[in-house]
Amino acid sequence: MAPIIGITSDLHEARNKVGAAYAIAVVKAGGTPVILPPIAGLETHFLSICDGFVFTGGDDPHMARWGVSTHPNAKIVPKQRQEFELTLLEQLQSVPEIPVLGVCLGMQWMGLLAGGTLEQDLPSPLAENHADVDHAIQGTIGSGAVHSHHHQALTSAGNLTVTARAEDGVIEAIEDRTRAWYVGVQWHPERMDDCALGQELFDHLVMTAKSGVTT
């Protein structure tokens, strides 16, 4: 059976939106993509029907939850999306066999929930190094060039393991090695030509999900 992979979506002008490349990558990996609307109260139901999850990119977190003022340069993610995704991620902590991939904002949720910290507006020259440009990363997750566009980044990953950094030291990937597969990346692998840092992340997600699917 093809595992069902839940993909989180944004809320924009009363529409649920997410880049089509996420679903395409899941299909290429052998999974069945399902787009998840951020509706409070459905988290437990989605947890019961999905074999794996992708937490997608988006705008910036409301930081009040972590006792920090939200930076004036932040473009705030819709409140209902933040509450939905954090609730779903919290519930996933009790089912370590379900694989999770966090992309950009999704990675930041992971780090913040694990006790990490977030730089809400990267200073120069870090800001220029990550403003819609290619840059090199290196780490146990792999090495190569990635393309990302962000002005926020984790400065610590809490109890998660940092598995890649950019040349300027910015955290690019995190992982929980006590779980079946729980990986966050700052770049967008669904847009990557480099297979090891792109499609292969979705391949690993789906392969791990398959191991938990009964026929």
- The DSSP result for 85-145, as a single string, is HHHHHHHHTT-TTS-EEEETHHHHHHHHHTT-EEESSPPTTHHHHTEEEEEEEESTT--EE
CATH code for the domain of 128: 3.40.50.880
What tens digit of pLDDT does each residue of 97-128 get? 999 999 999 999 999 999 999 999 877 777 66
- Mean pLDDT computed over 138-156: 90
The total number of structural domains in the chain stands at 1
Q: Does any domain span residue 128?
A: yes
What tens digit of pLDDT does each residue of 26-72 get? 999 999 999 999 999 999 999 999 999 999 999 999 999 999 999 99
Q: Where are the beta strands (DSSP E) in the chain?
A: 4-8, 10-12, 15-17, 32-36, 52-55, 100-103, 117-119, 131-138, 144-149, 153-156, 161-166, 171-175, 182-185
The label of the residue with tokens 């990490």 reads 116
Q: How confident is the model at residue 168 (pLDDT cuts 50, 70, 90)?
A: confident
- Mean pLDDT computed over 74-86: 95
Q: How confident is the model at residue 215 (pLDDT cuts 50, 70, 90)?
A: very low
pLDDT of 139 strictly over 90: yes
Q: Does any domain span residue 135?
A: yes
Q: Does any domain span residue 63?
A: yes
Looking at the chain, the whole-number percentage of residues with pLDDT higher than 90 is: 78
- Mean pLDDT computed over 63-92: 95
Q: Does any domain span residue 177?
A: yes
Q: How confident is the model at residue 129 (pLDDT cuts 50, 70, 90)?
A: low
For the entire predicted model, the pTM comes to: 0.94
**pLDDT computed for residue 127 by the predictor:** 64
Looking at the chain, the whole-number percentage of residues with pLDDT higher than 70 is: 96
Q: Which of 190, 80, 98 is nearest to 146 (CA)?
A: 190
Greater model confidence, 149 or 49: 49
Q: Which domain holds residue 16?
A: 4-210
Q: Does any domain span residue 215?
A: no
Q: How confident is the model at residue 22 (pLDDT cuts 50, 70, 90)?
A: very high
